[in-house]
Each structure stands twice: as C-alpha cells, then as structure tokens.
Structure 1
Amino acid sequence: MTFIQAIILAIIEGITEFLPVSSTGHMIIGSSIMGIQQDEFVKLFTVAIQFGAILSVLVLYFKRFFKTIDFYLKLIVAFIPAAVFGVLFSDKIDELLESPMTVAISLVAGGIVLLFIDKVFNKNTEDNADNIKYPTAFIIGLFQCMAMIPGVSRSAATIIGGMSQKLTRKAAAEFSFFLAVPTMFAATAKKMYDFYKDHGASFSGEQIKLLAVGNVVAFIVALIAIKSFITFLTKYGFKVFGIYRIIVGLIIIALLMSGHPLSIL
C-alpha cells in the first residue's frame, strides 16, 4: 500500500463511516479497484482508520460526553452484543472482509430496506438520544451486530435499530455516532493486538506512518461529513442512500459475474 492509496482509503472512510452506505464495504471495493493486496496489515488499516473517523464524534459532540454516568452505561449496554459477536465470529468476519461479492449483495439488500424505512417509521417522536432506555440501547446494540457483514453498514443498522424504537432520524443518527466510539475503539485495539501478537514484533516505521496519515485524513473528512449528513438526513431521509447502494451494488455484481477483477490500478 502506498501513501496515496492510504489517503484515498482514508477519504473514503471519512465520508462513508457515518453514512448508511458501509464504510468497510466501500474500502474493500476501493482496495480492489486500486489493486491493493489484502494482506494482514491492509485488513488492520481498514479497521484502524475508522478510529480516526470516530474521534470526530468526540470533537463535534464534546459536551455530550461529559454529562452523566447514565450516558456511558447506555453506551456500554449497546456495545455488549457487538463485543460478544466480535469475539465469537472474529475469524469468519476476517474472511468476509476479502469478499467484494459479499459487499455488493449487502449493499443491494440494505439499499432496498432504506427505500422504505422512512415510511415504516414515519411517526416516531423521540427526538433526544439522551432519553433512550436501557432496553432500547441493548436492542440497538443487537442491530449493530448485523454490520459485521461487510456492506451492511454499522451506521445504517444502528440508525434503523434506533428508529425501530421510536427515535426520530436525527436522534437515532446521533446515538449511532455515540455508539461508534466504544465500538470502533475496541475493534481497533483488538486488531492492533492481534497483528502484534501474530507477527511477534512492533509495526514498521512505514506502517506507523500509513496508520497516522490514514487516521488524520479520516478524522478531518469525517468532521465535515457528520454535520452534512445530519442536515441531509433530517431534511430528505434515507431514499437517496438506498438508491445509491442499489446502483453501486448492482454494478459491482455485474462486473464480478462478468469476470472483471475490479482492479484498475
């Protein structure tokens, strides 16, 4: 992986982490298009730079993270399902990270859901993410587990989970952002530990630079993307994202079924 490729992947991550289009899926496709070999470090990189993106949540919602202990307890409750599933199915998840076809199918399936989600939950009234109950937090956490399939989108899964519990689009999106912090921190820490353990040595100087550049770029781009997404989502809903997912997914499926390797670089 070159530094230019790392920057491109980080831009993709920053834009898509909080959109319901699957950041991991887009980075897998981006890696395939750029011809990046899917070795252990590349798999680590695609997870680790998500940490840079979620740091933007801490900056933009700084005051929300210093309110009550209850806020953190709800995040822990919502985080538990993903933590359990992540440990139990870690190897299988890694296998799926190598499959553009899995991403494409998930994009299409998720896109179809997003076409109708606004009409299904058009009477939600709870507009404050701080008011959710513990059972609601846990249910949202269960929805988050679906995002372990590349292409599903953690953001889409958790926002839909929140809307299924009477949260408005805005409130569901904000809780999804908050939940990203412990989830992606844990995912990044685990990936780095596994990489260190399996290789029996620390990261090389170039790998450290790639991770640093990737996280900084993802952080900056995500700062812009979050505010834009909240404004767009509140005004227009999910339909545009559903159409986008379906189009991209179908194009990828068509290319893969025709024998196209996706790599163009």
Structure 2
Amino acid sequence: MPDWVYAVILGVIEGLTEFIPVSSTGMMLLAKHGMGLTDPFWNTFAVMIQLGAILAVVVLYFRKLWRAVITLPSDPASRRFALSVIVAFIPSIVLGLLLHDFIKGVLFDSPVVQCVSLIIGGVVLLLIDRKAPAPIHSEPDQLPLKTAFVIGLFQVLAMIPGVSRSGSTIVGGMLNRVEKRAAAEFTFFLAIPTMLGAFVLDAIESRDQLLAGDNLGLLAIGFVTAFLVAVVVIKLMLAIVTRRGFAPFGWLRIVIGVGGLIALRLA
C-alpha cells in the first residue's frame, strides 16, 4: 500500500482511541506492527498527529476555553480552572522529560507490554466503574487543586504504552470522587498541554526526519484525519459514559489485548 494509506489508517486509529480509555499508543504500536511499519518515522508520526485529536477538544470546547482565557485576569473561577490543569500537568512534565528516552526506546517497542497493559487496564476499568466512591465533584472546571494534582499523578502511569492516558486520568478522577462525565472532560482539558508538550519535544528531536521526502505531507494527512474522527468520537464517548459508564471500554480493552497476544503468539 502507498504511504498515504498508512497515514489515513493511523490517523483514524488516533482519532478513535485518543480520548476513549483504550490507549491510542498501544493501538498505534499494534497497528504499525501488523502493517510492518518499521521505519522510525512512523513512531514520530504517531506522536505528532495527536495534535490533530487535541485540536478537536479545542474546537468542541472553544466557548468554554475562550471564556476562561479572556476572563483569566478578573474571574477567580477561570484562574482556578487554569491552575488545576497546570497542577495536573506538572507530574508529566517532570517524569516525561526524565524518562522520555527510556519510554521510546524500550517500552514503546514492546507489543507484549501493550497487550498486557490493555488487559490489566480493562479489568481496572470494570472494577472502578462498579466500585468507585460516590462522586462529590460534578464540574470539570471546578476541581480542588489537590484532586487535580492526584489526577496528574495517575496520568504519569500512561507513560507505559498500553495503559491509556485517558483511562488512567479517568480512574484517578473517579477514585477521588469526580463524577464520570466530569472526569472524562477534565481528561480532555489535561490532554491539551500534555499532547502539545509531546508534539513540541518530538518535533525538535525529529526535525531533520520530518523534512525528508514526503513526510510533512503524510503528517498533514494523519493530522486532518485524526481531527475529523476525534470530533465524532468525543461526542460519542460522552454519550456512552453518561448512559453506560466505562464498562464497555473495559471489555473492549480486554478483547483487544487478548486478541493481540493470540496474534503475536501465532505470528
């Protein structure tokens, strides 16, 4: 297949999985492994098209985000919202910079780690969906700073590919008595600085690789595809979470993880 087809496929996978708790990184690695995409460019591609999915959050929540920005100097609630996202982001800044090379060089290239993490994460989601304490925080932009920081610590777990950034932060939120939908929405907001930071870091490290051949064109295809798919998925995810919780995503993780292990065994 031509490279642009791979770019579209990976863009669809990114848009489908970035915000649902099934691990976009794990899905990307398994997809690349299955399609035989061994060129290091595709690892960079997988990280950088996440910005397309993040743009979907900005577009869908533009009114809320823009209001927070323009009222930041005068509205204590806006300052609290911004500070909660910053506080939650801090653990990822520190450990992300310290462990970046290890994660990309060791964990990132292990399909077995991805599959096992998917299964474990699926079981955790099923348990949390049933056993989480009763929520007391129902607004994602009004979380206490302590709660936001704890959610940020849970996000660090997603540095193990397959764990799922959204899944770990949602679990952290629900364990700290954040309502399911609010936990999901705070995860969306936290994704903006987190994924933007990952994008900038990889762009700087891989700038020569990105300028080679048609790589920028492939990135543009993946970016646009991820954005369009993510717009639909975010709305769909919130509808599912509101009606059925996170159990469907837990079972989905388990099915994909078990299927991946079987496929790797038979390969």
1:246 deviation in Å? 1.0
The whole-number CA distance in structure 2 between the counterparts of 1:33 and 1:155 is: 24
CA contact (8 A) 2:14 2:50 kept: yes
1:76 corresponds to: 86
The whole-number CA distance in structure 2 between the counterparts of 1:204 and 1:164 is: 46
1:254 deviation in Å? 2.1
The whole-number CA distance in structure 1 between the counterparts of 2:133 and 2:99 is: 35
CA contact (8 A) 2:22 2:167 kept: yes
The whole-number CA distance in structure 2 between the counterparts of 1:59 and 1:205 is: 31
CA contact (8 A) 1:114 1:238 kept: yes
1:49 corresponds to: 49
Letter in 2 for 1:73: L
Residue number among 108, 120, 127 corresponding to 2:138 in the alignment: 127
1:255 deviation in Å? 2.4
1:232 deviation in Å? 0.3
CA contact (8 A) 1:40 1:195 kept: no
- C-alpha change, 1:202 and 1:13, in structure 2 (3 Å) is closer
Residue number among 91, 99, 102 corresponding to 1:89 in the alignment: 99
Q: Deviations over 1:136-159 (max 9, x none)?
A: 111111000000111100000011
2:261 corresponds to: 253
1:114 corresponds to: 125
What are the within-5 Å matches in structure 2 for residues 200-239 of structure 1? 203-239=211-247
Q: Deviations over 1:6-42 (max 9, x none)?
A: 10000000011000000111011111111111x3311
The whole-number CA distance in structure 1 between the counterparts of 2:59 and 2:210 is: 30
Letter in 1 for 2:140: A
Letter in 1 for 2:257: G
Q: TM-score, normalised by structure 2?
A: 0.92
Residue number among 150, 165, 174 corresponding to 1:139 in the alignment: 150
CA contact (8 A) 1:112 1:242 kept: yes
1:202 deviation in Å? 6.0
Aligned-CA RMSD value: 1.4
Letter in 1 for 2:103: I
2:71 corresponds to: none
Q: Deviations over 1:189-245 (max 9, x none)?
A: 00110112xx4x761251110111111110010000001000101110111111111
Q: Any idea what SS the aligned residue of 2:47 has?
A: helix
What are the within-5 Å matches in structure 2 for residues 7-26 of structure 1? 7-26=8-27
The whole-number CA distance in structure 1 between the counterparts of 2:256 and 2:20 is: 15
Query: Which 10-residue stretch deviates more, 61-70 or 136-145?
Result: 61-70
Q: Deviations over 1:153-193 (max 9, x none)?
A: 00000111111111100000000000000000000100110
1:194 corresponds to: 205
Letter in 2 for 1:117: I
Residue segments in structure 1 that go unaligned for 5+ positions in a row:
261-265
4+ residue runs over 4 A deviation: none
1:263 corresponds to: none
Q: Any idea what SS the aligned residue of 1:89 has?
A: helix
Q: Any idea what SS the aligned residue of 2:214 has?
A: helix
- C-alpha change, 1:202 and 1:35, in structure 2 (3 Å) is closer
1:122 deviation in Å? 5.1
Q: Any idea what SS the aligned residue of 1:167 has?
A: coil
1:163 corresponds to: 174
- C-alpha change, 1:212 and 1:135, in structure 2 (3 Å) is same
Pair 1:28-2:29 in alignment = yes
CA contact (8 A) 2:210 2:216 kept: no
1:70 deviation in Å? 2.6
Letter in 2 for 1:152: V
Q: TM-score, normalised by structure 1?
A: 0.93
1:125 deviation in Å? 3.1
Letter in 1 for 2:57: V
1:174 corresponds to: 185
Q: Deviations over 1:44-72 (max 9, x none)?
A: 10000111001100010112213223322
